Amino acid sequence: MANKITQPIIGGIVATVAFSLETIIAPFMGLPKMSPPEMLSTMMGVSIALGWIMHFMVGIIFAFAYAFLFIKVVKKVSNNILKGAIFGLAVFIIAQIFIAIIGLLMPMPPMEGSMMLVIIGSFIAHIIFGIVVALFVKEQVGEKTFA
């Protein structure tokens, strides 16, 4: 059981670091500046430090969702990188829906540059996130399932 708990925690942290690095280097690739922690802190009216904490908590929660739910959905896919890319796409879609809904209710920081380039940068970051999660979180062999 420890692996089922520690893998998503470590995977979520490392994947969120990878996601964050992509958003930091995005402007050097011609993409607009993106800062999920800044967006979260603005929306919630909290400090940027709490924005970073929330950003990592969301990453860990999604890694747990991968470990306990999503990995069962893609069990026929044998390639972990492909599993991760599919998961990253799912997380990207969920994030876009969440941002659209929350954006109607709370203030959002102003976006710089083309919205299409922001979406492309976000898409790339989420795919990277999903792949890293899939490389850290492995299906538990021999585990009894109740499905």
pLDDT digits (tens, 9 = 90+) for 52-70: 999 999 999 999 999 999 9
**pTM assigned to the model:** 0.89
Section 110-135 average pLDDT: 92
- Per residue in 80-117, pLDDT (tens digit) is 999 999 999 999 999 999 888 887 887 777 777 888 99
DSSP class of 113:
S
